[in-house]
Chains A and B, each alone.
Chain A
C-alpha cells in the first residue's frame, strides 16, 4: 500500500495531464460541433503544456530568477536552488503557438459558418451531400 502511494505521489501530475489529454482528444473525436472541437483541441494542447511544465519542478528549488543577480555577477549560484528554466521557455512558445492555432481555427470556423449557416458537422455534411451552398 505504501509503495502504491509512493508511485502515486511521484507520478500523479503526469497521470492528470494524460487524462486531460484524453478529455481533449475525446472532445475532438466525438463532438460534432466545430467550436466544441476547437475547445477540445485547446484542452489537448494545454495538457501537453502542463506535461512539459511538470518536468521543470525540483524539490526545494525556487523560481528561476537569480536573487541579487544584477550586472553580470552570477558567482556562487547552485543549480539545485533554481528550477529548470528550459521547459518554461519551451512552453511559452507552445502557448503562443496554441493561441495562434486557436485564432486561425476560429477564422476558418467563421468562414464555414458563412458557407453553411451552421457549425454542426452532420448538418454541414448533409448540405454537402445535397450539393447546396448558400453563399452570403
Chain B
C-alpha cells in the first residue's frame, strides 16, 4: 500500500514538475499573471478607493464579494464545531474539586454535596489540575492588554500597512485563548461567554453583508460602497475607503469571536466545563 502510494505520488510530482517548464520564469515582470489584471489594480486602486495598501483595496473592494464569503466560511467553521460537538447535558461528575485560595487545601465535593459557589475563598479547579504557574499567569496578565491594543491597531491600520480584519481578529481571539490556556476555560468564559461569542460571530458577518445590502438599498450594486456617499457626506472615493473600514471591522468581530468559539468547543469536547 505504502509503496503504491509513494510511486503514484512520485509519478504525479514528476508530471507536474515537467509541466512547469511551460511557466514564465519566476519573478518575470512581463508574465501574463503580472501584467493582465494586476496592472490595473496597482495603477488605479489609490485613485479608486483612497487605500494605499493594494491588498486591502483588492480584498475588500474589487474582490469584496470573495471576502464576504471568506468571512462566511469562518462562521461556518464555528457553526459546524458547535453543531457537531456541543453537548448541553452536563456530565454527571462523581465529584467536583474546589481549592481554598489562602491555604491551598483542595476540597472534594461528592455528587449531591453543597458546593461553595458563592464563596470568595474557594475557587473551582479542573479534575486534572496542575498547580498554577505564577510566571505564566502573571506574564499573560501583563501581555494580554497590549496584545489586544495591538489587535485593534492592526485592524484600524489595514489601509496603510499589512493588516486588516482577519489578522487583527485572529490576534484578538488569541488573547482570550491565551487567557484560557494560562488559567482555565471557566475564567475565559467569564469574560467572553459562549453565547456572546456566537452572537458576535454572526453579527460580524451580518455587519459585512449588511453594508453590502445597504448599498443595494441606496441604489448601487451589492457591496458597491460608493453608494454610501448618498447617506454620508463623503465623496464616492472616500465612501469606498470608509466602507472598506466598515467591513474590516465586521470581519474582525466575526473572526475573533469564531476563533474563541471554536477553541471552547474543541478544547472541552463540547462540554464547556473543563478545558485543556
Instruction: Write the residues of chain A forming the contact surface with B, with a CB cutoff of 8 angstroms.
Output: 7, 9-15, 18-19, 21-22, 25-26, 29-30, 54-61, 63-67, 69-75, 77, 79-82, 84-90, 92-93, 96-97, 99-101, 103-104, 106-108, 110-111, 114
- What residue in chain A is nearest B71 (Cβ atoms)? A96
Our pick among A11, A25, A86, A92 for the contact of B70 (Cβ within 8 Å) is A92
Q: Could you tell me the distance between the alpha carbons of A61 and B159 in the complex, rounded to whole angstroms? A: 20
Taking A92-B55, A103-B78 as known contacts, 8 extra A-B pairs with beta carbons closer than 8 A to each other, sorted by chain A number, are A11-B21, A19-B13, A22-B10, A64-B54, A85-B57, A89-B58, A100-B74, A103-B80
Find chain B residues with CB under 8 A from A96 CB.
70-71, 73-74, 166
- Contact, CB under 8 Å: B13 / A21: yes
- Contact, CB under 8 Å: B84 / A93: no
- Contact, CB under 8 Å: B26 / A79: no
Main secondary structure of the interface of A (DSSP, over half): helix
A-B contact list, 30 entries, CB within 8 Å: A7-B21, A11-B21, A11-B23, A11-B25, A13-B26, A19-B13, A21-B16, A29-B5, A56-B33, A57-B27, A59-B29, A61-B29, A64-B53, A64-B54, A65-B52, A65-B55, A67-B52, A75-B47, A79-B35, A86-B58, A92-B55, A93-B67, A96-B70, A96-B71, A96-B73, A103-B77, A103-B80, A103-B266, A107-B265, A110-B85
Q: Which of B1, B37, B54, B77 has the most CB of A within 10 A?
A: B54
Q: Could you tell me the distance between the alpha carbons of A54 and B58 in the complex, rounded to whole angstroms? A: 18
- Contact, CB under 8 Å: A30 / B77: no
- Contact, CB under 8 Å: B20 / A85: no
In whole Å, how far is B244's beta carbon from the nearest beta carbon of chain A?
A: 13
Of B38-46, B118-126, B142-150, the one contacting chain A is B38-46
Our pick among B5, B13, B74, B85 for the contact of A107 (Cβ within 8 Å) is B85
In whole Å, how far is B116's beta carbon from the nearest beta carbon of chain A?
A: 30
In whole Å, how far is A66's beta carbon from the nearest beta carbon of chain B?
A: 4
Can you list the 10 inter-chain pairs with the closest CB atoms, starting with the nearest?
A74-B46, A69-B52, A10-B25, A100-B77, A85-B54, A103-B77, A64-B54, A79-B39, A84-B38, A58-B29
Contacts A30-B5, A65-B161, A107-B85 given; indicate if A11 touches B20 (C-beta within 8 A). Answer: yes
Find chain A residues with CB under 8 A from B84 CB.
104, 107-108, 110-111
Size of the B side of the interface (Cβ < 8 Å), in residues, is 66
Q: Could you tell me the distance between the alpha carbons of A71 and B265 in the complex, rounded to whole angstroms? A: 44
Q: Could you tell me the distance between the alpha carbons of A14 and B105 in the complex, rounded to whole angstroms? A: 60
- Contact, CB under 8 Å: B9 / A22: yes
B17 at the interface (CB under 8 A from A): yes
In whole Å, how far is B69's beta carbon from the nearest beta carbon of chain A?
A: 8
- Contact, CB under 8 Å: A74 / B45: yes
In whole Å, how far is A112's beta carbon from the nearest beta carbon of chain B?
A: 10
Q: Could you tell me the distance between the alpha carbons of A12 and B61 in the complex, rounded to whole angstroms? A: 34
Find chain A residues with CB under 8 A from B215 CB.
none
- Contact, CB under 8 Å: A104 / B80: yes
- Contact, CB under 8 Å: A86 / B74: no
B221 at the interface (CB under 8 A from A): no
